[in-house]
Amino acid sequence: MIKILIIGLGSIGQRHFKILSNLENLKIAALRTSKGLLKHNLSINNFYEIEDALKFKPDGVIISNPTSLHAKSALPFLKQGSKVLIEKPID
């Protein structure tokens, strides 16, 4: 089972979730900044604290939060050994 963490569940994060949810042998979770309502009801394990997301020990992390938070969000997971996908330039 491969564990994937999506950081940020805005429109881009939800798009990644939709694509990944069609694949087998994946356990998908999200690190979110708030418990806000999602446009679509997603069946996903949510974390609201980075410490909890780190304990999930994801194999891969998709950074889909605001660009200004990319480096700060990616660094703890890179240090832990997770593979990280950042689609945009890092500020």
Please report which residue ranges of the chain form alpha helices under DSSP H. 11-20, 50-56, 70-80
Q: How far apart are CA 86 and CA 74, in angstroms?
A: 8
Query: Would you state the pLDDT for residue 39?
Result: 53
Q: Which helix (H) or strand (E) holds 86?
A: strand 83-86
Could you tell me the pTM of the whole model?
0.90
Per-residue pLDDT of the chain (91 residues; tens, 9 = 90+): 999 999 998 889 989 999 999 999 999 999 998 766 555 567 788 999 999 999 999 999 999 998 889 999 999 999 999 999 998 777 6
CA dist list (Å): 9 to 69, 79, 81, 84: 14, 23, 23, 16
Query: Would you state the pLDDT for residue 37?
Result: 58
